[in-house]
Amino acid sequence: MTKDYVIGLDIGTTSAKSVIFQKSGVVVSEDEQSYPVFHSHPSWAEQDPLLIEQSAIQAIKNSLENKGINGAQISSVGLSAAMHSLICVDNQNKPLSSSITWADRRSDDQAMSLKAASLGTEIYLQSGTPIHPMSPLLKLIWMKETSFEPFLKAAKFLSIKEFLTSRWFGVDAVDYSIASATGLFDIKNKKWNEQALVLAGINSDQLSKPVPPTFIFQGMDQEVAKEMGVPVDLPFAAGGSDGPLANLGIGAINPGETAITIGTSGAIRQMADRPLTDEKQEAFCYSFTDDLWVLGGPTNNGGIVLQWLKDVLGQKEIDEALNHGGDAYSKLLLSAEDVVPGAGGLIFLPYLNGERAPHWDAKARGAYVGLSMDHRKEHMTRAGLEGVLFSLLNVSEALDRLAGKTSILYASGGFARSSFWVQMLADIFGQDVHLPQSHQSSAWGAAWISLFAIGEVSDLPSIKQHIPMKAVVQPNGVNVEVYRNLYPVYRNLYGALKPTFDQLHSFRG
């Protein structure tokens, strides 16, 4: 049986996606299995790792069965996952804790303390991971200082991707980019950082072996393989985190090629041939391969801002959409299209969940500035969408400083389904936007890594010839000028409001 297909398995924050590609990059089949994030207490964000495992198995099974593809027709599988998850496990890879996600803020106090110390700067410069509650390093420090019972009993500490591969293959290995995102990794020497391990109160034997993204897992547990519908000897490549794989999957590999992804959250990233960090600590820098690093910045507030706008402002539109079989988000976006750029002098700081790059401030909060009697829901919606993109433009300034100006801008993720929002991106950045036909860039990047790992493709850059692209979206010159004048106002708002955010923090329920 010929092996005509390759799979990218993407373990995201809210779902597991299995995408089956032809080797040309064309999507043949896909399946997505969702799972919840539990917020049992304020600032907690946890998931059930066993449910995620079942979702990943089911997604692969369904993506095969949906198009009648035999598992023996798959050449390889590449793995992608969201960063910063942490699970305490025993020696048998049984979870002792939930999977604690990047959004968990129990380590706020530990992050503030370390960030204010010179040691925090030193750890950042070595790890490339900003000092923030998202990182497993800070989660581990919190666990140690609070005598968290699963921490005390744990034999190992794994990310969600390692949790799956350790259970499926009996091998503890972690790719460079997931390791980098822990805050415990030395991105220059590709090894665990002893100084960070001491801070966390653990030793390197409790962590997986760091490996390049081409590392192959093989010899899957027979029961898992049977349930998944694949051969036990199907090679799975370690792959990476969803960020660098999205860059690879969209073709943003060379200097000056910048990728923007907006899903629930968002990010802007570039590849570099060396680690790039500085004491401003505005951007992350993670190791990806032996000779590639990815730098950039994530925002907590991407598509989730649109969800909030829908829930808070869009009830009438939702009712109308449901009554006529429409989509509530489309209705909400359509209402904002009639509003002129700049939303009639209304600006939105999109920090509904605090913010990561470039401020790394868990206390930051959202704010409308400039509200007047003339503003309606559609103005607030447009200002919300503009605020998300202004936030990414703010992060891009750090990338420009570290790596140089963007020459080509790529975009992917759920937001790219909206031509309105993509046009807004082109106008705010003042650049052409290049879009792939498929929004599954992380999955395609992971799949390509797996083909490279098994020797079916010669290198990573050649993926550029295998990415089906749409027409380029060009900026509107008039709108570019409006946003060029408005952006400095937006940029100054965080500094002006930060003292207020800090004061309000104590009033959170």
Beta carbons within 10 angstroms of residue 141's beta carbon:
22
Structure token pair of residue 2? 């010929």
Structure token pair of residue 77? 């599988």
Q: Which residues contact 52 (CB under 8 A, 6 or more apart)?
A: 11, 16, 35, 99, 160, 163, 164
Structure token pair of residue 31? 């399946």
Q: Give the pLDDT of residue 15.
A: 95
Checking phi first, is residue 157 left (phi over 0); if not, alpha (psi -120 to 50) or beta? beta
Q: What is the rounded CA–CA span in Å between residue 60 and residue 68? A: 12
The domains of the chain are located at 5-250, 303-404+484-507
- Helix boundaries (H) for 4-107: 49-66
Judge if 5-250 and 303-404+484-507 fold alike in CATH terms: yes
Q: Are 111 and 174 in contact (CB under 8 A)?
A: no
Q: What is the rounded CA–CA span in Å between residue 481 and residue 429? A: 11
Beta carbons within 10 angstroms of residue 432's beta carbon:
13
Let me know if 37 is exposed, middle or buried by CB neighbors in 10 A (0-12, 13-18, 19+): middle
Question: Rounded to 5 degrees, what are φ and ψ at 294?
Answer: -120, 130
Q: Which residues of 374-385 are buried (b: 16+ CB within 10 A; e: fewer)?
A: ebebbbbbbbbb
Q: Give the pLDDT of residue 38.
A: 95
- 3.30.420.40, 3.40.50.150, 3.30.565.10, 3.40.50.11540: which CATH number matches 303-404+484-507? 3.30.420.40
Q: What is the rounded CA–CA span in Å between residue 202 and residue 43? A: 24
Q: Given CA atoms 100, 249, 8, 457 in this order, what sign does their dihedral have?
A: negative
Q: Is the pTM of this model over 0.85?
A: yes
Minimal CA–CA distance to 472: which of 406, 416, 428? 416
Each residue's pLDDT, cut to its tens digit, for the chain (509 residues) gives: 899 999 999 999 889 999 999 999 999 999 999 999 999 998 899 999 999 999 999 999 999 999 999 999 999 999 999 999 999 999 999 999 999 999 999 999 999 999 999 999 999 999 999 999 999 999 999 999 999 999 999 999 999 999 999 999 999 999 999 999 999 999 999 999 999 999 999 999 999 999 999 999 999 999 999 999 999 999 999 999 999 999 999 999 999 999 999 988 899 999 999 999 999 999 999 999 999 999 999 999 998 899 899 888 865 555 554 455 556 677 788 889 999 999 999 999 999 988 999 999 988 999 999 999 999 999 999 999 999 999 999 999 999 999 999 999 999 888 888 999 999 999 999 999 999 998 889 999 999 999 999 999 999 999 999 999 999 999 999 999 999 999 999 999 999 999 999 888 777 64
The CATH number of 5-250 is: 3.30.420.40
Could you identify the residue written with the tokens 């995620």? 52
Q: What is the DSSP string of 255-314?
A: TTEEEEEESSSEEEEEEESS----TT--SEEEE-SSS-EEEEEEES-SHHHHHHHHHHH-
